């Protein structure tokens, strides 16, 4: 072996090792198995993705038969050619079986049998090129090693969940083969068929990437993946035609040199007689004397030599320009198209009636516990009676005990009871396989166990090992919308994903037993509750989704001391831990909401309302007769429904006052506070379910969720109803929706 060859192989191996060290692993995304067209025909799941593989079998068998045709139909002239092309056509025919088997039930295990035949075809083509254009002996001896390299790349991916070696095996030939076809002189005629094959393969990859958009564009008739199979089958079709038509050419000249001749412009004025020869086909084409001047004469020569030549079909530059334009168009579409987040459904926890804690019972328990002195008892009773919380609100079992029992086990039991119930309800209703969940986010501000809450859910429902899970804590009552925002950001880079968001607050471990008045408030308003929300950015979920996320705006005032200290977990003088609520809480919430609304307003308000606000602002700032306050836009022209965090009567009334809403606009919030109490981050979802149960949510309606939390944070989410909501569907309000709103005062 020559030193040059040894050095080349050594350099290639070193480069490969360096790439494997410095580049991150590429795991197989489970979203890859989520194809747009999942319809069943004639009992065949994913029917069109399965049936569209049939052309591979036909062309593969035809190629094999012609390889061994008695009269040497393909006219192989080199020793290793027949073996290389036989391996190629075996791989093509096997694609029909492997790909069909995979698409019947797409998963990683079956994907092996889809990729193995394709790898055989890719590596065989590489060996064939070496045989024909570099060295016959080296190419023949490289067939088996290249096939083994392909096999190892698939085994490495399967056992180590790393696609890097397989990606090299698949994409290096896609780059090298067209370059070799252009730059290296061929032994046979009809070399442009290689470029047609490469063009169809590029088109197939574009269609694969645009699987779901194509399915949408064709009105759910054909998906990009099904069309991709047909386009990919055109690759062996063109190569078979090439083998059938080609012949050994006397003079070997590369396509690059041929095109260079074809594109050479006449230096004269175009009146002289010129002769151009496409020597790679051994067909001489003599140009007649043209009366047209320079550019026109060149145009006729180009048409005659390149376009009308039966062996050229279409010029490579044109082919590349068309392919590049298609590729740019598809990637531009994907780059600039906003990610749509669909809310498929959500479930709210409905505690059993035996966990109800009527106001009278709650006060009685406080008295019997023997923990608080008379001043503390009177304060808590006063807060309870003015809180707006009714007799149906519930607390965990351990809080019903005298004295209340708080422990890690109690908090775990409460968490299990709430989250297991709502998740199971959601999965059962929509027949969701837990392994299909790609993203899992939980939020619980004051209870952060180890293992985490998301780990508890993964263990309970047997979710897969590579899902993306996040457990948020310390975020306060606004954490529900923060979780939605996290999912929204994740879905920008993880297309075709299904996400589950869990929102709750554990009441069991967080009762305060001291005498600090600001910490006693939390004892009286927080109640048991939780919600599970199912989100998706998959195109096929569009038709079954309830809502579509339009806007999500976050405001954080942590840099302001007054805001930062308005809600804070701390230790009192006796060493007891509690959550202190500042007297300035409503003021801080109004300030945060104002900043949030300034950012949200231009996105949702009609121009007429924005203009009124601008005129009012100018008059107040620079007008002769300054107005006392700036005009508050009419947000009812932007939204049909309002869901204000049910943190307490003062919070709801403060928001209504700030936004100049009517009492009816806050009905869902008041009613949720009355029935379920302050369930922290999940309260917004109870309010949405109330609107659904009342039959008020109509297709096309927009709902504004407003959340507040420690830090201090104000968050807004705008949802648009995209389906017809059936008020008869069972939810957390179904058993007594007819009792609400409470007559006379929805606040209780």
Catalytic residue chosen out of the listed positions 641, 674, 715, 721:
641
**What are 640's two structure tokens?**
């049909």
Catalytic choice (53, 523, 678, 715): 678
Task: Give the Å distances, CA to CA, from 356 to 353, 528, 728, 746.
Answer: 5, 10, 25, 19
Beta-ladder partners of 643: 705
As a whole number of angstroms, the distance between CA 487 and CA 508 comes to 28
Listed residue (656, 654, 658, 683) closest to 671, CA to CA: 683
Helix residue spans in 303-401 (DSSP H): 316-336, 359-369, 374-386, 397-400
Phi, psi of 63 (to 5 degrees): -60, -40
SS3 letters across 574-598: CCCEEEEECCCHHHHHHHHHHHHHH
Cα 741–Cα 718–Cα 393 angle in degrees, nearest 5: 35
> For residues 448, 449, 455 and 460, what is the CA-based torsion angle, rounded to 10 degrees?
-120
**Tokens read off for 418:** 């709430």
Of the residues 556, 643, 674, 721, only one is catalytic, namely: 556
Indicate if 416 belongs to the active site: no
Lookup: tokens for 298: 């060149």
User: Out of 278, 376, 477, 721, which one is annotated catalytic?
Assistant: 477
Whether 64 and 89 have beta carbons less than 8 Å apart is answered as: yes
CA torsion, ordered 318, 320, 325, 329, to nearest 10 deg = 150
| Helix 192-209, helix 164-183: angle, nearest 10 | 150
The answer to whether residue 105 is catalytic is no
> Could you identify the residue written with the tokens 């809450």?
453
The distance from CA 553 to its chain's CA centroid, rounded to whole angstroms, is 20
- Using CB atoms within 10 Å of the CB of residue 58, give its burial: 0 to 12 exposed, 13 to 18 middle, 19+ buried: middle
Burial of 273 (C-beta count, 10 Å sphere; 0-12/13-18/19+): exposed
Active site residue 634: no
Q: Is 645 an annotated catalytic residue?
A: yes
Neighbours of 727 (CB within 10 A): 15
Backbone angles phi, psi at 438, to 5 degrees: -100, -30
**Cα–Cα dist 362/385, whole Å:** 11
Q: From the CB of residue 614, how many other CB atoms can be counted at a distance below 10 Å?
A: 12
Distance CA 684, CA 104 (A): 41
The 3-state secondary structure of 189-249 reads CCCHHHHHHHHHHHHHHHHHHCHHHHHHHCCCCCCHHHHHHHHHHHHHHHHHHHHHHCCEC
Tell me which of 645, 674, 715, 721 is the catalytic residue: 645
Task: Assess whether 674 carries a catalytic annotation.
Answer: no
d(CA 249, CA 280): 7
Neighbours of 461 (CB within 10 A): 18
The tokens describing 323, both together, are 């392919």
Relative orientation angle of helices 224-245 and 54-67, to the nearest 10 degrees: 10
β-strand pairing of 498-504 with 439-443: parallel
- Cβ atoms within 10 Å, residue 601: 16
Q: d(Cα 681, Cα 483) in Å, to the nearest integer?
A: 10
Q: Which pair of tokens denotes residue 473?
A: 């804590």
Q: Cite the active site residues.
A: 477, 556, 641, 645, 678
């Amino acid at each position: 072996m020559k030193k040059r060859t040894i050095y080349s192989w050594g350099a290639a191996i070193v480069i490969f090792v360096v790439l494997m060290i410095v580049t991150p692993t590429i795991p197989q995304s489970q979203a890859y198995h989520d194809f747009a067209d999942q319809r069943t025909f004639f009992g065949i799941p994913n029917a069109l993705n399965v049936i569209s593989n049939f052309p591979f079998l036909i062309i593969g068998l035809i190629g094999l038969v012609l390889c061994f045709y008695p009269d040497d139909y393909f006219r192989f002239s080199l020793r290793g050619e027949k073996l290389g092309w036989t391996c190629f056509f075996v791989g093509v025919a096997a694609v029909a079986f492997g790909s069909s088997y995979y698409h019947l039930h797409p998963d990683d295990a079956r994907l092996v049998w889809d990729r193995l035949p394709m790898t055989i075809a890719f590596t065989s083509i590489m060996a064939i090129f070496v045989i024909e254009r570099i060295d016959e002996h080296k190419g023949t001896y490289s067939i088996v090693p290249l096939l083994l390299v392909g096999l190892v790349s698939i085994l490495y991916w399967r056992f180590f969940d790393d696609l890097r070696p397989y990606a090299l095996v698949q994409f290096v030939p896609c780059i090298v083969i067209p370059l070799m076809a252009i730059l290296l002189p061929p032994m046979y005629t009809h070399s442009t068929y290689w470029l047609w094959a490469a063009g169809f393969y590029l088109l197939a990859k574009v269609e694969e990437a645009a699987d779901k958009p194509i399915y949408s564009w064709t009105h759910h008739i054909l998906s990009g993946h099904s069309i991709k199979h047909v386009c990919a089958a055109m690759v062996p079709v063109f190569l078979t035609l090439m083998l059938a038509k080609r012949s050994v050419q006397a003079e070997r000249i590369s396509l690059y040199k041929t095109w260079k001749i074809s594109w050479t412009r006449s230096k004269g004025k175009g009146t002289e007689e010129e002769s151009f020869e496409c020597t790679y086909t051994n067909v001489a084409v003599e140009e007649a004397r043209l009366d047209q001047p320079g550019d026109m004469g060149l145009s006729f020569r180009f048409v005659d030599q390149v376009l009308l030549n039966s062996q050229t079909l279409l010029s490579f530059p044109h082919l590349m320009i068309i392919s590049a334009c298609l590729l740019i168009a598809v990637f531009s579409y994907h780059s600039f198209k906003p990610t749509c987040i669909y809310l498929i459904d959500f479930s709210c926890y409905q505690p059993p009636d035996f966990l109800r804690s009527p106001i009278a019972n709650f006060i009685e328990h406080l008295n019997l516990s023997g923990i608080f002195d008379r001043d503390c008892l009177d304060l808590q009773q006063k807060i309870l009676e003015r809180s707006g919380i009714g007799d149906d609100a519930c607390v965990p079992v351990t809080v019903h005990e005298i004295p209340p029992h708080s422990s890690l086990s109690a908090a775990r039991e409460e968490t299990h009871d709430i989250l297991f119930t709502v998740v199971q309800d959601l999965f059962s209703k929509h027949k969701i396989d837990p392994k299909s969940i790609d993203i899992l986010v939980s939020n619980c501000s004051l209870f952060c166990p180890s293992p985490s809450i998301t780990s508890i859910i993964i263990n309970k429902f047997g979710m897969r090992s590579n899902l993306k899970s996040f457990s948020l804590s310390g975020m306060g009552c606004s954490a529900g919308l923060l979780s939605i925002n996290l999912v929204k950001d994740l879905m920008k880079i993880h297309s075709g994903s299904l996400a589950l968001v869990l929102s709750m607050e554990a009441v069991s471990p967080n009762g305060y037993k001291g005498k600090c008045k600001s910490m006693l408030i939390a004892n009286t308003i927080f109640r048991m509750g939780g919600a599970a929300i199912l989100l998706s950015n998959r195109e096929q979920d569009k038709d079954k989704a309830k809502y579509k996320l339009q806007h999500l705006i976050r405001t954080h005032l942590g840099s302001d001391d007054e805001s930062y200290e308005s809600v804070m977990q701390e230790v009192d003088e006796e060493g007891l831990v509690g959550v202190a609520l500042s007297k300035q809480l409503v003021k801080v919430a109004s300030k945060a909401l104002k900043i949030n609304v300034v950012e949200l307003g231009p996105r949702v308000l009609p121009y007429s309302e924005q203009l009124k606000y601008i005129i009012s602002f100018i008059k107040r700032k620079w007008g002769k007769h300054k107005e006392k306050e700036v005009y508050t836009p009419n947000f009812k022209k932007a939204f049909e429904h309002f869901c204000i965090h049910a943190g307490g009567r003062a919070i709801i009334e403060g928001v209504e006052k700030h936004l100049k809403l009517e009492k009816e606009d806050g009905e869902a919030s008041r009613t949720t506070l009355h029935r379920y109490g302050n369930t922290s981050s999940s309260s917004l979802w109870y309010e949405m379910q109330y609107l659904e149960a009342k039959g008020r949510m109509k297709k096309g309606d927009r709902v504004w969720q407003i959340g507040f939390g420690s830090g201090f944070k104000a968050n807004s989410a705008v949802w648009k109803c995209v389906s017809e909501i059936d008020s008869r569907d069972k939810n957390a309000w179904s058993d007594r929706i007819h009792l609400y709103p409470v007559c006379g005062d929805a606040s209780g």
